[in-house]
Structure 1
Amino acid sequence: MTSSQKSCLDNDTIAAWIFLAPALILLSVFVLYPIAYLCYLSFTSGSFTRAGIHWVGLKNYWRLMVSPDFWQVIWNTIYFTVATVLPSLILPLGLAVLLDQTIALQGLLRAAYFIPSITSLVAVGLGFRWLFQTDGPVNGLLNVVNIAPIPWLQDPIWAMPVLILLSIWKQLGFNLVVFLAGLQTIPLNRYEAAELDGADSWQKFWYITLPGLRPTLIFAAVTTAIFTLRSFEQVYVITGGGPLNSTNLLVYYIYDQAFAQFDFGYAAAAATILLGVTIVLVSLQLKVSEE
């Protein structure tokens, strides 16, 4: 390599770093530094409203491991996530297959299903709280068919399904658009060949549509799981974690420990666990997508 070529490479490297510098600075300030500080806080005690911060090592993580409340929150979060993610994939997938056909009002139906995705979650939460209050419209409809009113938001059994229903409804439109985009990538000649071989609608869906949507399904599953894991607004607006801690999810638990109990180190330890779970989910998505 001649000296002139080396000089050109050096100039290109310098230019590349100059163009990357703004993005790297923003990434460091708003992503890397907060993550590093979060991990540091998880090994400390004290708060910004008391006398300083003190290093306590793994004490906060041990407190999490032996806390019954934390394990109930973990169970609540797992239940909420599984019960939300599966319908949030199955329902929009079925709708996407139907709306991918030539039907009347196709554009209007697509827009109508997408509207929940762009609606404020706080506004939706307030609407659901009104719908499911003891003297609300839902119990009014049950009364018409002679079913006794259900205390939806005061009963530990029924409060979580209300949050799950809201989350499914909120996520449906986004996943619908994702699946519709995925369906456009499947070549039509595959379906034509299957028809010539005598395949019915179910066989075409099972052997052509699902395999063709594999990357899309992985993306939708991971993004829905992350959206569900970070659920906060619906808990804050509708139930506040109650009744009897039955709807207390991990993000709301972190918020409560940090800004109600002012136990920032303990909250940071719980947030670090949530961060680790999210990183694992994203890593799985990338690994599966590469296969």
Structure 2
Amino acid sequence: MTKSRSHQTQLLDNDTVAAWIFLTPALILLGLFIIWPIAYLFYLSFTAGSFTSKGTYLVGLKNYWRLLFNADFWQVLGNTAYFTIATVIPSLIIPLGLAVLLNRSLALRGVLRSAYFLPSIISLVAAGLGFRWLFQTTGPVNSFLNIFGIPSIPWLGDTFWAMPVLILLSIWKQLGFNMVVFLAGLQAIPPSRYEAAELDGANGWQQFWHITLPGLRSTLIFAIVTTAIFTLRSFEQVYVITGGGPLNTTNLLVYYIYQEAFGQFDFGYAAAAATVLLAVTLVFVYLQLRTWGEES
């Protein structure tokens, strides 16, 4: 008995050592490219100065106090919240509806899936330049509106319309990816569930609510989290199309961090704003996972 336990312990130790050996390269890369940058960012948020011969020095919570009492930061935070909510909700509802329709169409599923997915592989910079051309004052969108007697709208120069252009681009960019994800989730639901529901007299809406949505729970979690992260880190749209204007109404948090770090060279303040962005993202992901996990 003692010999058998000793052998099992030795085997367990060998397996543990082997596991650590195989995990070590991944852990090193994780530490170098994720954990260390995050830790250095957090440290940098408590400093001021620049990366010159003078160097940086600790200032405590000064950068966070500046954020707290900076009206521009709160405007940017509001812009980011508006942009995120207005992008995430349509980026989930529209692809889900398209996926349900495509799942019933076997003939054109492959062609339409490729067509809808195409925007996802296009560079955001190229897409941004395309949208900037479409929505300029003398662009095709206004030319089309003029046909119906609608006067030209200064899309990119108006404080009300500039943000919807960015939102439309982000939805268009994310739509195909989410649709493919939802389509894969739908195909994993057993057809027998729908057949049984039809025999019980359930209509299409009842089948969608009681079979499709519960069957897509894990897929929805993935889509919500990835879409929210994609939206919160948005930078290219603002940089290419509006530059944060007009009157700071399209300035998002990532672009604001870029301006403060590489425009004003205020790296400590930018690091504090980036830390806030990281915290908001982590809290959002945690709440989503906890909420959907409790419902499952």
CA displacement at 1:46 relative to structure 2: 0.9
| Letter in structure 2 aligned against 1:133 | Q
* 1:278 counterpart residue number: 281
CA displacement at 1:8 relative to structure 2: 3.2
Q: What pairs up with 1:129-278 in 2 under 5 angstroms?
A: 129-278=132-281
8 Å CA contact 1:61, 1:266 repeated in 2: yes
Corresponding residue pairs, total: 291
Q: Distance in 2 between matches of 1:9 and 1:111?
A: 48
8 Å CA contact 2:221, 2:289 repeated in 1: no
Give unmatched runs, 5+ long, in structure 2.
none
Q: Distance in 2 between matches of 1:44 and 1:134?
A: 44
Q: Distance in 2 between matches of 1:170 and 1:50?
A: 43
8 Å CA contact 1:117, 1:171 repeated in 2: yes
1:40 counterpart = 2:43: yes
| Letter in structure 2 aligned against 1:7 | Q
Q: Distance in 2 between matches of 1:232 and 1:43?
A: 25
Q: Distance in 1 between matches of 2:32 and 2:263?
A: 27
CA distance 1:10–1:211, shift in 2 (3 Å):
closer
1:105 counterpart = 2:103: no
CA distance 1:52–1:138, shift in 2 (3 Å):
same
1:115 counterpart = 2:145: no
Q: What pairs up with 1:13-24 in 2 under 5 angstroms?
A: 13-24=16-27
Give unmatched runs, 5+ long, in structure 1.
none
Of residues 57, 82, 87, the one that matches 2:90 is 87
Q: Distance in 1 between matches of 2:17 and 2:210?
A: 51
* Partner SS for 1:135: coil
Q: Say which is worse superposed, 54-63 or 203-212, in terms of deviation.
A: 203-212
| Letter in structure 2 aligned against 1:116 | P
CA displacement at 1:221 relative to structure 2: 1.2
Deviation per CA, 1:26-48: give whole Å up to 9, x if none: 01100110000000000001111
CA distance 1:7–1:202, shift in 2 (3 Å):
closer
8 Å CA contact 1:219, 1:285 repeated in 2: no
